[in-house]
Each structure stands twice: as C-alpha cells, then as structure tokens.
Structure 1
C-alpha cells in the first residue's frame, strides 16, 4: 500500500467513525422520516426468493382502511407528515382493492409516498390512478432478463409485464423517480451488464440493487445466495457504473456493513441500518415494526393495543441500542463500532447472532 493509499484509507476510516457517532446520536433523537406500509401479504406471483413468503393463497386478513388511516392520522397529528416518506409494499400492493382510496387520504394528510410493484397489473389506468392519488416515486422489481426473471418469479409473462410497467411509468413523465430494483443472486449476476443497457434505454432515473438473504422462501432456495467472490463481482460492477454514468443512478441498498474498501463506493453513505431509529412501519396484520424484511420478533405493538406514536416514543429500544447484538464473532471483531451487528433483517434470533456478515463473506479466503 502506498503512502497516498494509506492516507486515503485512514481518512475514510475516520469519516466512517464520525458517521457512526452521528448515527448513535440519531438513535437517541429517533426522528421518524421513513415509514413502511405493508399493504397486504397477498401476491399475484409466487417468487422463489420472496423474503416475506407471500402468495395468492395468503388469506390473512388485511388491516381495514379505517384502521390504516387511523395510524397515519396519529402520525400526522404528532409529527410533520411533510418530513416523512411512505414506502408502500406488500405482497403486491396493487392487489389490494382499496389501495388508492387509502393512499389518496394519506396524500391529503401531507405524506409523500412511493411504491414497490412487480408490474403485473400496471397499465395506463393504474399509472393515472397512482398519479392522481399522490404517488411520487415507483420501483419496479426486475430480477433478470426474460427466462431468468420468469424462472425466479415462476410466471412466464412476468418479465414482459415488469418491463412494460417501467416503460409506462417512465414515459408518463408524472413521477419524480422511476427506478428498477433488482435482487441480485447466483442466477442473474451474469446478466447485469445487459440489464443495465436495457434499463438505460428505458429512460428511467435509477437502478437499485440488493442481495438476497436467507428469509422466507429464500431460506429454502439457498443456491441463490451469493458467495464472497460474487459479492465482489457485484460491487465492482456497481462501482464502475457509478463512476461512469450520470444519466441513470446505480446504487446498492442498505444490506449490511461492507468494510472500508466498499463503503461509500457502491452507495452514497456509509452503512447504517435505520430500522427503529428513523424508519418505522405498519405490517399487513396491524403490527408495528420497521421495514417488512424484519422477522416477527422485532414487532413493537399492534394498532389495537397502542397508538403508533406512543409505541415509537416508548418502545423500539432494542433497535436503538444494539450493544446486545455483540455476540459470537462480533465480540472480537475490529469492525464492530462501524457495523453494530449489521442490518436488523439479517439477525438470527434462534442462533443469537448475525445470520449473514457481508464483511466476512468479502474477506473469506474460501471464496477467493
């Protein structure tokens, strides 16, 4: 390592330390700025890698529109809705019949909202209804080209539907951000370069990538997981596209701490899991959590038991002080102060340790 490289690395490590110190202060303040609404667990697809194990046969009762709106009304009364972005997820949000009725009211309360969709139900009418009910951003899930996507989604029409959805949203010119979102796995990583060309040609603003983690049906299909070598291949791809492209934003989602070599190279900021700190959420059954990717052990209450604002101020303590997560290999890990146990959705309650450590995977000699 040259002296210049050493200085650069030292500077970056200090910046990372300062960032994490600031985030610890944020945990004490816990200003709510991002809120997930898991609209339903019903879905018109049955994907191999679904972390929520959603599907057509999910008959769990959805929270009524009135109760959903009571949660948003409570939040709007106690916090400034203009400072809170609502992420609409599922299942597949568009299968919920009263979706736009609810979101029109949410928008009128002052919230901004965006949606993640598989694109199966998107047509011109849906695009217009999204706009009329206040949607600002949309993410369409595409996990490969043609047969690869269709295999993962278990539907031979799903790829064409998803691409068409991106085209319709982008060509409408009605939304601030139209992006593709891709779950990178062993089956589609070889197609990233071609996917990039396709997405760029559609005129969308961004492409967000994340990596599959062992939860839901992905727990069964472990052959889809990336090893350290493939992770590095992915990060090199993202880093290159971020340096050389200004027309379409490419970024890696918050999926765990990566280490000094990759932090701020594949996404804008250093690693930070904001679950329960600035991110809250309402699950399909009325439970309060943070992002829907978290296991049920992270639930902090229910709409029938406590208001969200009261739960936000009096609970979520296990998410805001994470020192209890310093177990197993983390005890002696020199990266702990930058990682703090990694993302909460990667925590294994049965084993009482982090289920997936990206830093370990990247630096594992077994995968080199």
Structure 2
C-alpha cells in the first residue's frame, strides 16, 4: 500500500500543515518568544513594556547568560526550533553576542526584533557570520520629526536607517514594520516608499494595547476603529489575511477551551526575568523558571491552564462578530484585568470589520 504521508509525495504547504498538526497533537514546544530585556534605548510612547535603558535594578534582575544557555539546552532537547529574540531592545544586552551565537550553534532558527539603532559594523558582521532567519526592524515614521516624536530620542531616525543599511550591505534577511498611531498614520505611504527603496517587505499593525504593568499611555495613541478597519480593507496583506480567515472559518463554532490559539500547545514565552508564560500578554499566568524546570512548567503547569473552560456566560462567547475580533484572554487581561472581559475598542473594531467584509462592496475601495 502506498504511503501517502511521505513528505516527498506532499507539496510543501501540505507537508507543513501535516507537520504542524503533529506538533500540536503531541504538544511539542516548537516556537519560543524570549524577551532578553525590557530595557530600551528609545522611549516610544506606544510601547507596552519598555523600561529605562540604564536601570541597574532592572538589569540585575534579568536572566544571566549562563541561565539562558541552560534554558536553550532544555528547549532544544524538547524540540523547539523557532526562536524569537525580542525586548525591549535585545541588542542592549552586553552579552547579546554570546547568547545569540549559542542559540545559533544549538540549531535554532532565530528571528531578531530590533529598532536597528544599535546595529554597528561589528554586530552586522556577526549576523553575517551567523545569519538569523530574519531581522524585523520597526520603523516609527518616514521623517525624523515623526519618527523621533514616536521614539522620544533625537537622532534615532538616522541611526535606524544606518542600521538597516549595515544589515543589507551584508545580505542579512530584513523586513520593516510599524505600529500605526495617531502620530505616524499620515506617513504610512512614505514608510512604504522607504521599505520599497530598500527592497524590503513592509507590514503594519494598528492595534495598540495597554502596558503589561497596567499603564494606559499607549491607548492614547490609538487610531479610531474606523481607521483601523480602513487599513484592513486597503492594505493587501491584512485584507488577504481576513479573507482567508473568513474562508477557513465558515463552519467555526465556539469551543469550550480557554484558549483557541497555539499558546501553550506549540508555543510559549519567557520574559527577561525568567518567567515562562503561555503568551507574553499573559504575565499573570507565568511560572518562574528559577524555581521550576522548563519541563515541569510545560508538562505539568501549562496543561492545567489549558484545561480551564471558557466562561460560558462571557459576553464574547456567543458574539456574532467573534471571527472578526482580536480579543483573547491575553488582551482582556492586559486591558481590564479579567481574562474573559470585553475590550470595548476591539469590540467596536470587530463589528465594523464584520460590516465591511460581509455587507459593503469594499472591493471597489481597495488599492
């Protein structure tokens, strides 16, 4: 009998789909988000986690390189392949090079999130020698005036562009992205031009949430729900993603499970202080890796969280716009302190998005 599951007899999308189903069924911790620091050399008004760049207290509480090495050993042994280094600004760590090279030698596919302002020729050389899967650079504006109003640091716009150039001179895979705010929304077209000038992909995200410590400052810079939905319609990448979501979710029904994503099933997050959570937006459900082993958290503690049933009385559960909503226990927790609460901003966007994609002839408006 022929073996139709042989990878050579599957096309690539089918192979990946089959692989991911197996990974999720077996709960392999395949993908990790490792926040190396919450400190940052910029002071972005919209950031959900940034801490002072020179704070000795915060720096001293961060995981040591040797501690991280041990975690990477455990993660690799359990089957983790995709590894994201993020922050804060991960390049601020004095031992970044040691941590990065260790991860590469372990065989991880490493993605790096950075503002690129700290990229030096020496660091770019290191990335050339040990190529990351990708460096994703956040661009906060198309002019120094707007960029630095977002980032809070004079001269940072030029440093960002210089850093991007250093990466590209070494053929390091790079992409650009931005968070859309009331400050930079009018420069989106020009940011796209900058990306095109570099020959780079560009994506955007208009959804800002509260700080992890409960601060609401980022929310002050949110675009309106109408503006957010307009971007969903006019930006091809976002439009295609929602159309695909509509197609694959035709027969979707609300599940009883607490989470409907891969958090705790095939992915996890670790903050700078060694706390492991299902998702970086769920710090209240984190477990200290300084107290428990990685395996104990993944095998014993996470399943207990995942087994929690969704509150059947929650307003969101039977909402007819749920397929168009970005809300989840993480968002709810960060915004309201409760994991099953309505986030009014997302709720308004969801209904407007549903109306736009289901009722209005939006195709005539796309670019």
Name the TM tier (shorter chain): 0.7 to 0.9
Q: Is the 8 A contact 2:29 2:266 kept in 1?
A: yes
1:191 aligns with 2:187: yes
Paired residue secondary structure (1:150) = helix
Specify the alignment match of 2:73 in structure 1.
73
CA distance in 2, matches of 1:347, 1:25: 30
Asked whether the equivalents of residues 144 and 188 of structure 1 are also in contact (C-alpha less than 8 Å), the reply is yes
Provide the residue aligned with 2:337 in structure 1. 350
Say if 2:289 is the partner of 1:303.
yes
Q: Deviation per CA, 1:101-128, whole angstroms, max 9, x where unpaired?
A: 1221111111111111111211221111
Matched residue SS, 2:179: strand
- Structure 1's 273 and 157: CA in aligned 2 closer, same or farther, altered over 3 A? farther
Kept after mapping to 2: 8 A contact 1:277/1:319: no
**Alignment map for 1:126-141 (pairs within 5 Å):** 126-141=123-138
CA contact (8 A) 1:148 1:188 kept: yes
For 1:274, the equivalent position in structure 2 comes to 262
Task: Confirm or deny that 1:315 pairs with 2:313.
Answer: no
TM-aligned CA deviation for residue 167 of structure 1: 2.1
Range with greater deviation from structure 2 (29-38 or 350-359): 350-359
Call closer, same or farther: CA 1:156–1:276 in 2, change over 3 Å: same
Change (3 A) 1:35 1:197: same
Q: Which residue of structure 1 lines up, in the alignment, with residue 320 of structure 2? A: 334
SS of equivalent to 2:235: helix
**Which of 348, 351, 363 in structure 2 is aligned with 1:363?**
351
1:288 alignment partner in structure 2: 276
CA RMSD of aligned residues (A): 3.4
Q: Is contact 1:295-1:345 (8 Å) kept? A: yes
Tell me the number of residue pairs that the alignment of Structure 1 and Structure 2 aligns.
320
Equivalent residue of 2:162, what SS?
helix
Q: 1:148 aligns with which of 146, 149, 154?
A: 146
Instruction: Pick closer, same or farther for the CA change 1:125–1:343 going to 2, 3 Å.
Output: farther
Q: Is the 8 A contact 2:229 2:352 kept in 1?
A: no
Work out which of the residue numbers 82, 88, 91 in structure 2 matches 1:91.
Answer: 88
Verify the 8 A CA contact 2:274 2:289 in the aligned structure 1: yes
Structure 1 unaligned blocks of 5 or more: 1-22, 243-250, 253-260
What SS does the aligned partner of 1:297 have?
helix
The change in CA–CA distance for 1:275 and 1:269 in structure 2 (over 3 A counts) is: farther
The answer on whether the counterparts of 1:43 and 1:54 sit within 8 Å (CA) in structure 2 is yes
Please give the per-residue CA displacement for 1:144-194, whole angstroms capped at 9, x wherever unaligned: 222111111101212222222222212321x3x311121111222221111
Q: Using a 3 Å threshold, how does the CA distance of structure 1 residues 200 and 326 change in structure 2: closer, same or farther?
A: farther
Instruction: For CA contacts below 8 A with separation 6 or more, give which structure has more relative contact order.
Output: 1
Change (3 A) 1:206 1:152: closer
Equivalent in the alignment of 1:209: 205
Q: Output the CA distance in 1 between the equivalents of 2:277 and 2:110.
A: 18
User: Is 1:231–1:362's contact at 8 Å kept on the other side of the alignment?
Assistant: no
Task: Answer with 282-291 or 354-363: which moved more.
Answer: 354-363
Decide which of 225, 231, 234 is 1:234's aligned counterpart: 231
